[in-house]
Amino acid sequence: MKLSDLKIIVTGGAQGMGRHFALRLAEAGAQVAIGDVNTEGLAEVQGAASGPGTIHARKLDVSDEAQCESFVAWASEAMGGVNGLINNAGILRDGLLVKKDRTTGEIKKMTKAQWDAVIGVNLTGATFMVRETVAAMAAAGVGGVVVNMSSIARHGNRGQSNYTAAKAALAANTVTWSREFARFGIRVGAIAPGMIETPMTQGMNQKARDALVAAIPVGRIGVPEDIWIGVKFVLECDYFNGRTIDIDGGLSM
């Protein structure tokens, strides 16, 4: 699919990779609808847009089913249809499932709130967005493409039981959905970033961050443009379907 033909939703579009994807798409001539809980960031992205495309923006909490439904309906009306989704919204609430305090010896556990927050946004919300966007595409009979943002953490990463579970499920459902949606002419692919320079990773513990960067064979942290190259491939290559591409600089977790 040509980028200029896209009428595409980008979740988590106010900052980080979502912001970069939205600006690149508009630059290429796409119609883009961005959603995020960060309304100030949404306005900033709209103001930064250039090129023949247009960025539409509206507040969106993907963990709220009703908001997903209304956002897709609004986006479809604003863009004159919808034929794409970049499922990018995500959060971190890292912590060991069970740990022992080195000073007191107290056993501490990951809380239900930590688990629910990450699963709610990164998996349940992502699934709602796929369901609603694909339903709109199928009803219109237009075909389209979905790009899920997984992670190399889907293979397992210490201190990320919640995040790993969500990202592994998204990669698995990329296969499931590619098979289910083929009848509608809709492809589904996934990108699994490694460590990328975004506001989310900038908030990491510095010691842990430095150790991860040191383990990357290419010798640097990734940037959103590295991931955009992969996203662009999935969007444009009509023969790509049901697979996850790791873009991680060779980092293994």
Alpha carbons 189 and 86: distance in angstroms, whole number: 10
3-state DSSP assignment of residue 157: coil
DSSP tag of 185: T
Local structure of residue 222 (DSSP, 8 states): B
Nearest to 253 by CA among 171, 121, 132, 151: 151
* 163 a catalytic residue: yes
Q: Give the Cα separation of 16 and 245 in Å (integer).
A: 19
Q: From the candidates 21, 71, 128, 163, which is the catalytic residue?
A: 163
The number of CA neighbours under 13 Å toward the Cβ of 207 is: 0
Element (H, E) at 186: strand 186-193
Just list the catalytic residues.
163
